[in-house]
Amino acid sequence: MHIYKYILIFLCFSTLAADMTTCGLSTGYPPFQYEEKGVAKGIDAQILKLYNSRFDRKIGVTQRSWDSLVSSFYFRGEPACLMGMEITQKRLGRFIFSDILYYRESVLFVLNSSKIKNFIDLKDRVISGDKDSKLDIYLRKHEEFDIRLKYFKTKEEAFSALLLGKIDGVIAPLRVGKFLLNGKKDYTIVSAGEAMRTPVAVAFKKGDKNFEEFNKNLKSLIVDERFLKIVNP
């Protein structure tokens, strides 16, 4: 009798696991993705929470550094999806993306004391880059700017270095920088305009059998008033 009960419990948990898709979230990319006392926080975490409240197939969460997630996702197919990945031509060749969740605008944050007003003023300056972002790519392509790019593990580290005067600027999404510099007033935003806006979605490996169902559900989610309040507070 006890063996029979254990078999039933095992089958129950096996069924739950089969119905669960695990999606990766960064631990350090606020306000989109971050961790607070071991709990997933941010805009993307709220979207997943809303998704799980509406649909039967649940989405689980695993969190670690973004670089670690992308590497594991690309080489091992784990986790099953990455939440809040920016869509680029390079990534379109590797992954399949859901419908667009929202857009991120890539800008440059500098301190007022730096007297940097435009990108030409960046000559010989050290800037924190933002891998694969439109502004990072744009500045690297234009040799006349002649900047030196340095990459940090997290945006928190990059902005801390900026405030300490160790670097001259930080390339980051507009909302990320404003969130991390909350309360600070001595900074300037250098923008290249609408051309630096990048669509953001959920990435799956090509051929993933769960993608079609997920994206079908997402299409109905992104017109939900609760979703719109999350992405446009």
The sign of the CA dihedral 104, 108, 111, 113 is negative
The pTM score is 0.83
d(CA 184, CA 155): 16
In terms of domains, do 110 and 141 share one? Answer: yes
Segment 66-91, tens digit of pLDDT: 999 999 999 999 999 999 999 998 89
In terms of domains, do 208 and 97 share one? Answer: yes
| Residue 96 · residue 60 · CB < 8 Å | no
pLDDT of residue 6: 35
In terms of domains, do 176 and 117 share one? Answer: yes
In terms of domains, do 53 and 13 share one? Answer: yes
Residues in the chain: 233
In terms of domains, do 155 and 136 share one? Answer: yes
- DSSP code of residue 91: H
In terms of domains, do 75 and 144 share one? Answer: no
Task: Supply the range of the domain harboring residue 10.
Answer: 2-102+199-231
Residue with structure tokens 């001595």?
A: 186
pLDDT of residue 94: 94
pLDDT of residue 8: 34
pLDDT of residue 153: 85
In terms of domains, do 90 and 203 share one? Answer: yes
In terms of domains, do 8 and 98 share one? Answer: yes
pLDDT of residue 145: 78
In terms of domains, do 6 and 96 share one? Answer: yes
In terms of domains, do 37 and 6 share one? Answer: yes
In terms of domains, do 158 and 222 share one? Answer: no
Residues of the chain with pLDDT under 50: 1-18
Q: How many domains does the chain have?
A: 2
In terms of domains, do 95 and 203 share one? Answer: yes
Q: CATH no. for residue 123?
A: 3.40.190.10
